[in-house]
Homo-oligomer: A and B are copies of this chain.
């Protein structure tokens, strides 16, 4: 009998698995089955799902989870640096397994998010800091547009 209750897959037992375990160990949080399931949902979509998207995916395997639990798990996962998140105005926050600094663009029409490689921001942060008495702590580029599919319509 397969131990489905723990949402364990072979995919999770790779080199990243150790990294994730280590981050949990260091943080003091425990790697629960729900947190694992959220991580897997994120891995399966291979995209930039919202909390709701993830909730629906997790529910397929475990119909008992609550949306609040997903939000809780996401916040822990983000806190310990396993995932990242981005926010576009007037739409829910999107989560991302890619925690490196990078650009994402969101389609105004269908909401799909895609990564934009190869953009050089240069000394933008420094330039901003030079021109304000505030101490700058974050500068985020929020990019929106129309995805190829939506352009055709």
B128 touches A137 (CB 8 A): no
- Give the docked Cα–Cα distance between A135 and B150 (Å): 10
Please tell me if A1 contacts chain B, counting CB pairs below 8 Å: no
Please tell me if A124 contacts chain B, counting CB pairs below 8 Å: yes
Q: Say yes or no: A138-B131 contact (C-beta < 8 A), given A87-B89, A121-B124, A124-B121.
A: no
Q: Say yes or no: A118-B131 contact (C-beta < 8 A), given A108-B137, A140-B141.
A: yes
A132 touches B120 (CB 8 A): no
A131 touches B116 (CB 8 A): yes
Chain B residues with CB under 8 Å of A122's CB are: 122
A151: nearest chain-B partner, CB-CB:
B135
A136 touches B143 (CB 8 A): yes
A138 touches B144 (CB 8 A): yes
In the complex, the count of this chain's copies comes to: 2
A134 touches B117 (CB 8 A): no
Q: Say yes or no: A134-B146 contact (C-beta < 8 A), given A103-B128, A128-B103, A141-B141.
A: yes
Please tell me if A81 contacts chain B, counting CB pairs below 8 Å: no
Q: Say yes or no: A105-B136 contact (C-beta < 8 A), given A118-B131, A131-B118.
A: yes
- Give the docked Cα–Cα distance between A114 and B134 (Å): 9
Taking the nearest CB of chain B, how far is it from the CB of A96, in angstroms?
A: 15
A137 touches B132 (CB 8 A): no
Taking the nearest CB of chain B, how far is it from the CB of A124, in angstroms?
A: 7
